[in-house]
Amino acid sequence: MSRKRLQQLVDSLGHSTKHFNKSEVECLIKLFDKLVAESSSRFAAAGFDRSMFRDILHSAFGMTEEMMMERVFRAFDRDNNSCISATEWVEGLSVFLRGTLEEKIKYCFEVYDLNGDGYISREEMFQMLKNCLLKQPSEEDPDEGIKDLVDIAMKKMASIYLL
C-alpha cells in the first residue's frame, strides 16, 4: 500500500473508528498488509480469505471451533464478499477488542443469530454451544448436558425479560 493511500485510510478510519486512535489504526493496517503479503491466498490482493482469517483467530485468540470462527468471519465481512478488507479488519477489531458492552452484546448476538432473523432460538444456541463445550466421556448422551444448559440460559433470559 502506498504511503498516501495508507494515510488516507488512517485518516478515514481514525474518524469512523471510535476505539482506536490514529496511531493504533495505522499499526493495524500495517499488520494487515504484512499478513496479506505473507499469504498465498488467491484473495490476497483484496484481503483475508476465510482460511487466513481462521488462522489469525486461532493463533491470536485461541479459537478452535469451526462454526464460531465462521460466524466471527461473517461478522467482520460486512460486505459479504468472502474477504476481509483493511477497513473491515480495523472496524471489526475495534468492537471485538475494545467495544462498549452494548457493542459487544450486539456483536455476539449477530454471531449467534445463525439465520439472521433477529432472534436466537434454542436450536441456534444449541448449535453454537455443542462444539464449544467439552463433553464428559461418562455421559450417555453428551448433547443432553448442552440442552440443559440452553434451557437454563433461556429460562434466565425469560425471567430477566419479564421483570
> Domain with 105 in it: what CATH number?
1.10.238.10
pLDDT, residue 128, reads 83
Average the pLDDT over 137-143 and give the result: 69
pLDDT, residue 137, reads 64
**Long-range contact set of residues 97-104: C-beta below 8 Å, sequence gap at least 24:** 97/19, 98/19, 98/20, 99/19
pLDDT, residue 58, reads 95
Pair 24, 61: CB distance under 8 Å? no
- 105 and 131 part of one domain: no
Start-to-end C-alpha separation, the chain: 53
Average the pLDDT over 58-82 and give the result: 93
143 or 9: which carries more pLDDT confidence?
Answer: 9
Residue at 45 is within a domain: yes
Crossing angle (nearest 10°) for helices 101-112 and 86-98: 110
Residue at 50 is within a domain: yes
Domain C-terminal end among 93, 112, 131: 112
Query: Number of structural domains, the chain?
Result: 2
Q: Helices (DSSP H) in 17-141: which residue ranges?
A: 22-38, 50-61, 66-76, 86-98, 101-112, 122-130
pLDDT band at 134 (very low <50, low <70, confident <90, very high): low
Residue at 117 is within a domain: no
pLDDT band at 28 (very low <50, low <70, confident <90, very high): very high
